[in-house]
């Protein structure tokens, strides 16, 4: 599904300069002269709050374990309430959040090119239909989904439902946009979820072909068919 290929590898959530959540839009976040560094405990608290409040369905929570340093970032051990565990990363100023399995150098280069003066919004998720079973999507899982993607004005740009071809990919490998990498974590089989993805977690200022203009916020209805 080429339309959901990553524009710039697992780029972190990015929100406005004045915010305090994990996705604040900034420029030069890897410029050490401009970075306000959080203490590890503060980074831990911020990541835990952001993930629990924005990325997970009701009933699923995470607790952040050990915080270490790797490649100039904080590495966070994320423990799900259902027993699953993944590692993720956050810039030391707390402004960007990355899933495991990413190319750090490409992510840093992409982050340095982010604009600083455009309004944006957070990734939002809404469960339309509850799933079943104990298994939930985590980084490293191969999953199969049906989806329909639209622009904010309702224009449909892609749909596996229409084509009759469900899409299979692996979370954390960088084959889908960051809004999917983050927004599908915690889903159960049979669950239907709506994702409202800001442009920064989609195709950004470049857009994607004629169907997705630059700086487009994206809406996806996604149903999890299986965790393979």
Q: Which of 189, 172, 184 is nearest to 134 (CA)?
A: 189
Q: For tokens 């974590």, what's the residue?
A: 185
Choice among 127, 157, 196, 227 that is catalytic: 157
Is 50 among the catalytic positions? no
Query: What DSSP line would sit under 48-63, residue for residue?
Result: HHHHHHHTS-TT--EE
Choice among 9, 98, 203, 212 that is catalytic: 203
Is 147 among the catalytic positions? yes
Q: How many Cβ atoms are within 10 Å of 152's Cβ, its own excluded?
A: 10
Helices (H), the chain: 40-54, 104-111, 160-163, 178-183
Report the SS3 class of residue 179: helix
Is 177 among the catalytic positions? yes
Choice among 9, 97, 167, 220 that is catalytic: 220
Choice among 50, 89, 147, 167 that is catalytic: 147
Sequence-separated (6 or more) residues with CB below 8 Å from residue 21: 13, 15, 46, 50, 54, 122
Q: For tokens 């229409």, what's the residue?
A: 162
Choice among 51, 158, 169, 171 that is catalytic: 158
Choice among 26, 29, 51, 177 that is catalytic: 177
Is 9 among the catalytic positions? no
As given in the structure block, the two tokens for residue 214 are: 């630059």
Q: Please give the positions annotated as active site.
A: 147, 157-158, 177, 203, 220
């Amino acid at each position: 599904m080429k339309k959901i290929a990553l524009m710039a590898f697992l780029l972190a959530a990015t929100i406005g300069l004045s915010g305090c959540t994990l996705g604040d839009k900034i420029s030069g976040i890897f410029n050490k002269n401009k970075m306000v560094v959080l203490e590890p405990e503060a980074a831990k608290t911020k990541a835990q709050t952001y993930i629990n409040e924005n990325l997970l369905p009701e009933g699923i929570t995470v607790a952040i374990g050990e915080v270490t340093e790797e490649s100039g970032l904080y590495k966070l051990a994320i423990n799900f309430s259902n027993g699953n565990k993944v590692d993720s990363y956050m810039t030391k100023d707390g402004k960007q959040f990355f899933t495991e399995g990413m190319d750090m150098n490409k992510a840093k280069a992409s982050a340095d090119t982010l604009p600083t003066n455009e309004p944006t919004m957070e990734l939002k998720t809404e469960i339309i239909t509850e799933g079943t079973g104990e298994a939930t999507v985590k980084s490293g899982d191969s999953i199969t989904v049906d989806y329909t993607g639209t622009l904010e004005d309702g224009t449909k740009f892609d749909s596996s439902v229409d084509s009759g071809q469900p899409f299979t990919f692996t979370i954390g490998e960088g084959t889908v946009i960051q809004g999917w990498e983050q927004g599908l974590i915690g889903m159960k089989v049979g669950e239907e979820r709506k994702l409202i993805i800001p442009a920064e977690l989609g195709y950004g200022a470049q857009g994607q072909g004629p169907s997705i203009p630059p700086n487009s916020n994206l809406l996806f209805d996604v149903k999890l068919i299986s965790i393979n």
